[in-house]
Structure 1
Amino acid sequence: MPTGNPRAAVTPGRWLAVKRLAALIGAGALLAATYWSLRLGYADLVYARGTEEAAETAVRLAPACAAYLEAAAKGREGLELAREALPTSSKLLIKLGLLSESEGDLAAAERYLLRAASVDRGYLPRWTLANFYFRQNRMDEFWKWGRQAGDMAYSDQSALFDLYWRTGARPEEILARGIPDRPQILAQYLNYLLLRDRIAEAEPVGERLLEAATRDSLPLLVSYSNHLLRTGRFRIALDVWNRLCMRGILPYQPLDPPQGRIITNGDFRWHPLAAGFDWRIQQIEGVSIGLSGPSGPLRIAFSGKQPEHCLLLEQILPVAQGSTYRLDFRTRRAEPSGGAGLIWRVWDYEGARVLAERSIGTEIKEEQNQSFVFTAPAGDPAVRLRLEYHRPLGQPRTEATIYISAVLGSPEISGGR
């Protein structure tokens, strides 16, 4: 009489056969999965070679992979077949557009490329359209798609900027029509111009970048300030520097030459940038120069093997032409004696003429204050403050450690020294 339990009707032999069959099916599935995993992995390895033959081999190994199909498709027939499988592939549409252009069918080329831009909101279709319209000398469309490409770009855009300059457009037109107000692209374009020494053209770009500057912009904007100083654009360099200070991107007080504020980082609280209006520490064999702690003072250690004459430290000072300034400096020595040969000098900006100088005293070990005055020459909106070492005649090279805790500037009051 039936029991109603299906398992009860199965003999032990049949049950064992079912278990073995299930195990075989599982093993087969595992083997199949392993096979396809290895096959797909090998296809990816082959595809990574980056050649047409590699892409074709990868398609044969993994015909359902869109990336392989896009890369392997060539010729109109092959591209159209691939597009049937991938109707919204922007890469295939771009290939078809460029192929149509090469065949002289410009209307079809434009349709394909515009379709690629409509299905893909990324960079490549817009960059391709900008190039297409550039080749066709359709400048309004060129600027439209070039700007859209720049608006979403993060990698190096030198090729796009090169294309802009090849149009023969004026720099202000390039900036207005081709450069979006994104800090990333403004920074790239400013760097592009600086590398090509187009400093005048860089000024309005730097102005726009300053309005949106962040701490990430600091290295580039300080480099920009250096270029401005190098080419004699002192007023703009000072404006860039002060705006960075006022926004807290630089940790210094803004400079104001008419009020006597001409020294940057005078207490050496911050590690010098070696750029702009900050200190430039020189690398001299036999001399170690650096901050003695997290916030100063500056330590200069002479080994006795330094050159007989060398520049140790320099800062560009903005000045009001014809004004007289007082410079105060505070130093101490680590040893009871030594340190002879250290001289503060103010040079004209070109470094052709010494305007004033003062030797650092070596008589006492304790901290000492010294000062001297100089008058800014007419026609020079900046001068150079330098700390130099010159071995005194008849004396050995100094072996000493000097600490400089402050360098201050102020307007000279009548009767001061």
Structure 2
Amino acid sequence: MNKARTPEEMRAASAIDPLNDLHLIRLAQKLEDDGQPSLEAWRQAITVNPRRDLSLTQAAIAAELSGSTPEAEHLLLQAEQYNHLWLPRWSLANFYARHNQASQTFRWAREAMLRSYADPSALFLLCRNSGASNADLLQSIIPPTPAARGAFVYFLVRQKEPDSLELAAAAYLKSAQISGTRPIEKVETVAAAITALIAADQPDPAWRLWTLLDSAHLLPYAAGTAAQPLVNPDLRPPLRPPAFDWQIPAVAGVETLRGVPDNGIKFTFSGTQPEFAELLAQNLYLRAANEWTLAFEYETRGFSQPKAGLRWKLGGADAVQDLVLTEDWQPASITWNVPPASGLRRLSLEIVRVNGQPRVEGELRLRALQFRAGGAK
């Protein structure tokens, strides 16, 4: 038998099989596709099967469009009564938002969050468009579960709204600690908030969240101190997102290998790398001092050019130190003077093509990194 394709054929199929509501559902959908009234078809489908949430929610939309608002509300409440999952609750939140009933919008948004199985960003936006602040969302709408609070952290990161990130990330970590969430999930979620705060030049809340991770014993190394702010000096695998940890960009023509040497890192340059590249970087939270020293050990191998174009740089400071080529391990240090006010400074290792010579080939190895307040010792 050919499948019914026109409204008339669908009505005929429904008459032959009157206990099958799918014929009436397809009829209602066909009428909507054709721009015709569909409410009566949805009502008939509900008469046959009054528990199908699809029919109830779609009938509610048709009723609302036809001006029958009380019927639409009744149908949505009936759908939620039979099905306590996401769709009926999300539909109710949207319905009350369209009719400017904020308290009911927030109530059903919270209920929907309890059954959320995907990204709830649309729900957060719905609540905010209905007048809820980010604080309102955290305090009375978003359930106190790691999944819900974590989703809100990532929502704020994507929306580039740093002002509420500290509160959201701290609330997430509290619920995650209670629930036994995997450590990697805790670190990744809070690190995403910290990274966003660093990008927004808000070091104080970023550092407070960093110390929360440390006090929760979630960092694989010391968090850093005011006198020695360098994080992960042994260059262990950095966090993702990095937060206050190292950033090791992928650079075309450069091979990077951590752990060679022990507690260090090796860079191999093929001669095809860009004219300028950042090889290694960390955002440092500098406080209460105006003189800072980076000490390290290094060696270079295989360079045929007289200069490598390798240098350390500290954001906002004038001094730049080019590394002198050496086939043996050598200690080195560089001291910078910076304004004493607290703030973020980006420490970076760069390679720059030296004027008058081609891009270099060879290896650089680093180890024993320290960054401390005061001059070189």
Give yes or no for TM over 0.5: yes
Match of 1:233 in 2: 202
Match of 1:344 in 2: 312
Among residues 235, 248, 268, which one is paired with 1:281 in the alignment?
248
State the number of aligned residues: 362
Match of 1:408 in 2: 370
- Which residue identity does 1:201 align to in structure 2? S
Supply the distance in 2 between the matched residues of 1:270 and 1:390 (Cα, whole angstroms).
26
3-state SS in 1 of match to 2:156: helix
Note the 1:334-413 alignment, pairs <5 A.
334-335=301-302, 340-348=308-316, 353-354=317-318, 356-363=319-326, 365-391=327-353, 397-412=359-374
Structure 1 position 381, deviation (Å): 1.6
Q: TM-score, normalised by structure 1?
A: 0.73
3-state SS in 1 of match to 2:193: helix
Q: Does the 8 Å CA contact 1:263/1:317 hold for their aligned counterparts?
A: yes
> Which protein shows a greater Rg?
1
- Which residue identity does 2:204 align to in structure 1? R
Structure 1 position 272, deviation (Å): 6.2
Structure 1 position 300, deviation (Å): 1.0
Supply the distance in 1 between the matched residues of 2:354 and 2:362 (Cα, whole angstroms).
14
* Compared CA separation, residues 412 and 83, structure 1 to 2 (3 A): same
Describe the superposition over 1:346-390 as per-residue Cα deviations: whole angstroms up to 9, x where unpaired: 232xxxx32x44443433x33232223334422342222121234
Supply the distance in 2 between the matched residues of 1:146 and 1:394 (Cα, whole angstroms).
64
Supply the distance in 2 between the matched residues of 1:99 and 1:407 (Cα, whole angstroms).
67
Match of 2:169 in 1: 206
Structure 1 position 292, deviation (Å): 5.4
* Compared CA separation, residues 408 and 116, structure 1 to 2 (3 A): same
Describe the superposition over 1:272-318 as per-residue Cα deviations: whole angstroms up to 9, x where unpaired: 64732222224444433332569753111123344555432221111
CA root-mean-square deviation? 3.6
* Compared CA separation, residues 55 and 251, structure 1 to 2 (3 A): farther
Describe the superposition over 1:375-408 as per-residue Cα deviations: whole angstroms up to 9, x where unpaired: 4422342222121234556666432211112312
Structure 1 position 121, deviation (Å): 0.9
3-state SS in 1 of match to 2:190: helix
Describe the superposition over 1:160-180 as per-residue Cα deviations: whole angstroms up to 9, x where unpaired: 222112223333223333322
Describe the superposition over 1:118-157 as per-residue Cα deviations: whole angstroms up to 9, x where unpaired: 1111111111111221222222212111111122112122
Structure 1 residues without counterparts, runs of 5 or longer? 1-38
Describe the superposition over 1:165-206 as per-residue Cα deviations: whole angstroms up to 9, x where unpaired: 222333322333332222222232232233222221334222
Among residues 316, 333, 342, which one is paired with 2:283 in the alignment?
316
Note the 1:26-37 alignment, pairs <5 A.
none
Structure 2 residues without counterparts, runs of 5 or longer? 30-37, 177-181
Match of 2:32 in 1: none
* Compared CA separation, residues 399 and 104, structure 1 to 2 (3 A): closer
Match of 1:176 in 2: 139
* Compared CA separation, residues 55 and 283, structure 1 to 2 (3 A): farther
Supply the distance in 2 between the matched residues of 1:107 and 1:382 (Cα, whole angstroms).
57
Structure 1 position 77, deviation (Å): 4.1
* Compared CA separation, residues 96 and 374, structure 1 to 2 (3 A): same
- Which residue identity does 1:322 align to in structure 2? A
Match of 1:21 in 2: none
Among residues 54, 59, 74, which one is paired with 1:111 in the alignment?
74
Is the deviation greater in 191-200 or in 55-64? 55-64
Structure 1 position 109, deviation (Å): 2.8
Supply the distance in 1 between the matched residues of 2:345 and 2:373 (Cα, whole angstroms).
15
Among residues 107, 116, 126, which one is paired with 1:153 in the alignment?
116
Supply the distance in 1 between the matched residues of 2:15 and 2:220 (Cα, whole angstroms).
61
- Which residue identity does 1:371 align to in structure 2? S
3-state SS in 1 of match to 2:315: strand
Establish whether residue 266 from structure 1 lines up as the match of residue 233 from structure 2. yes
Q: TM-score, normalised by structure 2?
A: 0.80
Match of 1:188 in 2: 151
Among residues 88, 91, 95, which one is paired with 1:128 in the alignment?
91
Match of 1:251 in 2: 220
* Compared CA separation, residues 272 and 303, structure 1 to 2 (3 A): farther
Is the deviation greater in 147-156 or in 279-288? 279-288
3-state SS in 1 of match to 2:361: coil
* Compared CA separation, residues 279 and 105, structure 1 to 2 (3 A): same
Match of 1:78 in 2: 41
Establish whether residue 138 from structure 1 lines up as the match of residue 101 from structure 2. yes
Describe the superposition over 1:87-129 as per-residue Cα deviations: whole angstroms up to 9, x where unpaired: 3222233234333333433333322222221111111111111
